[in-house]
Amino acid sequence: MQSVLKWETNKETYHISQSHFLTLGSFSQEDIYFLLEDAIKLKKYQKEGIPHPFLQGKVLAMLFEKASTRTRVSFEVGMLQLGGHAIFLSSNDIQLGRGESPADTAKVLSRYVDGLMIRTFDHEILEDFARHSDVPIINGLTDSHHPAQVLADLLTIKEHKGKLKGLKICYLGDGNNNMAHSLIEGAVKVGMDISIACPPGFKPDQSILTSMKKETLLTGSSIQVGECPVEMIKDADVVVTDVWTSMGQEAESKKRLKVFAPYQVNKELCKHAKEDFIFLHCLPAHRGEEVTAEIIDGPHSVVFDEAENRLHAQKAILKALLGN
């Protein structure tokens, strides 16, 4: 099924190129810029109290195998503000938790709802749902990708910097996690330079690097991966980090604290970024580990604007995929 969004821009009809929202790497630059522009308009409607029930009568099922604060609330509120309804489902609430296959679950839910947002561990589970679903599948987070968060990050950067293309974004920490992967894809797609500072053994997935390096030839962006945080953060417009121990990695916590210690975002390290850099973190944050309180609670931090923008960016995604 190809989901189509009709959007009047200078009397032209715009068509989103994808049926599902699984990774930013699968979307075109035009798609991403369209979603960002629509998110800005939807945010304006919400702030000015202008009703925007583009999804009147639509229903989104939200399947959670991982706990959530921002993902659940932002998607649920987003559907309500768009005039639709959201249903929360934990894996223990449905037969998926008792062994029913993703394929069968997708086929059944497709007959009840207009879209399905999934927050899970293995990205392959999400792809399995997409292969067997007749309605759009939206990635709320997997171990390897977090595209909804990064779309909100791009929206936040655009709001604070006035542009995206030509800026440098630096991510520090575990390069082989969902935020690093989606940041690479999102940055390259919109023409930003990105540097990843990570220790040996924690580099981004090579297939993502290879794919996105080909894209840099089209967008004029660049990708750097290195072990020295000072070199990677040099002249960065945007500094980003994430927790060092994600859900499912708790047994590795002590090891990770030691390995990632040199990559802590602190005042000394940030002296090498641009003076007007902004700091992003997808939250929740562990102050004193991946970032100091001085940075995350300081004047460069825009983490709560970023958190709010999950709502507006995801409303654009929902409108695009469910509003055909």
Residues annotated within the binding site for L-ornithine are 178, 242, 246-247
Q: Which of 20, 123, 145, 146 is catalytic?
A: 146
Q: Which of 20, 81, 119, 143 is catalytic?
A: 119
- 228 among known catalytic residues: no
Q: Which of 256, 310, 312, 314 is catalytic?
A: 310
Which residue positions form the known binding site? 68-71, 95, 119, 146-149, 178, 242, 246-247, 282-283, 310
How far is Cα 287 from Cα 301, in angstroms, rounded to an integer?
13
How far is Cα 299 from Cα 251, in angstroms, rounded to an integer?
35
DSSP 47-77: HTT----TTTT-EEEEEESS--SHHHHHHHH
- For residue 6, give both structure tokens: 């009709």
Q: Which of 149, 153, 193, 300 is catalytic?
A: 149
Q: Which of 170, 198, 282, 300 is catalytic?
A: 282
Which residue positions form the known binding site for carbamoyl phosphate? 68-71, 95, 119, 146-149, 282-283, 310
Q: Which of 114, 193, 237, 242 is catalytic?
A: 242
- 131 among known catalytic residues: no
- 119 among known catalytic residues: yes
Edge-to-edge strand order for the sheet containing 278-281? 223-226, 193-197, 168-172, 238-241, 278-281
- 170 among known catalytic residues: no
3-state secondary structure of 263: helix
The two beta strands, 8-9 and 12-13, are antiparallel
- For residue 321, give both structure tokens: 């995929």
Q: Which residues are catalytic?
A: 119, 146, 149, 242, 282, 310
